[in-house]
Structure 1
Amino acid sequence: MKNFYKTISRRLILSILILISCVFLTGLSIAPEEVPVPQAEPSVSAPSPPPETPQDGAVIDHPLPEDPILTKGPWASEHFLMSEYACDCAGYCDGWPAEMDPELLGKVEELRCVFDQPIIITSGVRCERRNAEVGGIENSWHLSGHAADLYCPGVPCDEVAAAARALGLGVIEYPDRQFDHVEIWR
């Protein structure tokens, strides 16, 4: 549930950033042309070249800053950060009681590509205490980094399960909770 709220808050922050950027860029495009652009004082060590004046109708590129919440950290695969697989306990461990199985990471990436849309990891590796808290079995594959719980927004969990099985993953479906448990058997 903690990851669910974390995902929601990330999406809310991203939406707010996009909204603010749209308002800012819209304000730039309708600003009167007579408004002077303030010039910075030239540096003593090296004078800066004059700013380029865009032609009428040209758009000045203002890239958004990197989102430190969504894009910082090592990547597990093309679409997933390693942090998405970390134990979400309340500080009982350092987040990595075991390494994630590279084969699982690859299969989850393949699953994401099957649907060509985001897949949300709700649980990756777990420490024993967190596993007990969520009702995991004693020898859960989560404890050794060989399992993940996930869902694909807008896609029925039985379709996600069928695609995961086709990729060779072991699957336990939780239709009442709208997620699937996927695992690599070792």
Structure 2
Amino acid sequence: MKNIYKTISRRLILSIMLLVSCVFFIGMSFGPEEAADKAPPPTVSETATQASEPTVSAPETEPPPDGDVTDGPWASAHFLMDEYACDCAGDCDGWPAEMDPELLEKIEALRCAFDRPIIITSGVRCERRNAEVGGIENSWHLSGHAADLYCPGVPCDEVAAVARTLGLGVIEYPYQQFDHVEIWR
């Protein structure tokens, strides 16, 4: 019984931390003097509905507030689209399917909850790459509805718990030190 209360308390605290972190970062990124000068970037879902190609373009190549200076199209405030691309050896163009905008938004929220980098080890996959890594035949990676990730310095079970509070489906791989997150469609 004690473990149940501990688990509930932990999830409640993580949910509150997520909410406070997101509110804090939103407030930090658009202060009163900046709000008039900068329009907020389009959300992943807005950009995805406008784009006919699987890449989501960023309004500018301006680095995110935490100092990351990598250029490229942004999936969200902290992730480049390239981080989600298929990493096969040239069997596809990197985009055999479009990434699910809802998944991109929830992974960004996960990143905000921990206020530290989240590393995407696998996003969308072509069938050949999926077979190479031992993915199941109808893997959600094939349709852009899944990603494998970890947060350096944070136990995978904590990452999984917060991901679940955000509405992500999670399969934990504690021995490999990563979590598989997905959106069910």
Q: CA deviation at 1:152?
A: 0.1
Match of 1:108 in 2: 107
User: Helix, strand or coil for the counterpart of 2:96?
Assistant: coil
> 1:113-139, CA deviations, whole angstroms, 9 ceiling, x for partnerless residues?
000000000000000000000000000
- Structure 2: gaps spanning 5 or more residues: 1-62
1:123 and 2:127 aligned: no
User: Residues 82-93 of structure 1: matches in 2 within 5 Å?
Assistant: 82-93=81-92
Match of 2:93 in 1: 94
Q: 2: CA distance between counterparts of 1:80 and 1:108?
A: 9
Q: 1: CA distance between counterparts of 2:137 and 2:165?
A: 27
User: Residues 1-186 of structure 1: matches in 2 within 5 Å?
Assistant: 71-186=70-185
Match of 1:12 in 2: none
Q: 2: CA distance between counterparts of 1:107 and 1:166?
A: 10
Q: CA deviation at 1:71?
A: 1.4
> 1:122-159, CA deviations, whole angstroms, 9 ceiling, x for partnerless residues?
00000000000000000000000000000000000000
Q: 2: CA distance between counterparts of 1:183 and 1:177?
A: 18
Task: Give the structure-1-normalised TM-score.
Answer: 0.63
> 1:22-49, CA deviations, whole angstroms, 9 ceiling, x for partnerless residues?
xxxxxxxxxxxxxxxxxxxxxxxxxxxx
1:158 maps to a residue whose letter is D
User: Helix, strand or coil for the counterpart of 2:77?
Assistant: coil
Q: 2: CA distance between counterparts of 1:135 and 1:72?
A: 32
Q: Which has the larger radius of gyration?
A: 1
- Structure 1: gaps spanning 5 or more residues: 1-65
Q: 2: CA distance between counterparts of 1:154 and 1:75?
A: 25
User: Helix, strand or coil for the counterpart of 1:122?
Assistant: strand
- Paired residues in the alignment total 119
Q: CA deviation at 1:73?
A: 1.2
Q: 2: CA distance between counterparts of 1:123 and 1:70?
A: 22
User: Helix, strand or coil for the counterpart of 2:161?
Assistant: helix
Q: CA deviation at 1:70?
A: 5.8
Q: CA deviation at 1:72?
A: 1.7
Q: CA deviation at 1:77?
A: 0.1
Aligned-residue Cα RMSD (Å) equals 1.3
Runs of 4+ in 1 over 4 A off after TM superposition: none
Q: 1: CA distance between counterparts of 2:98 and 2:70?
A: 21
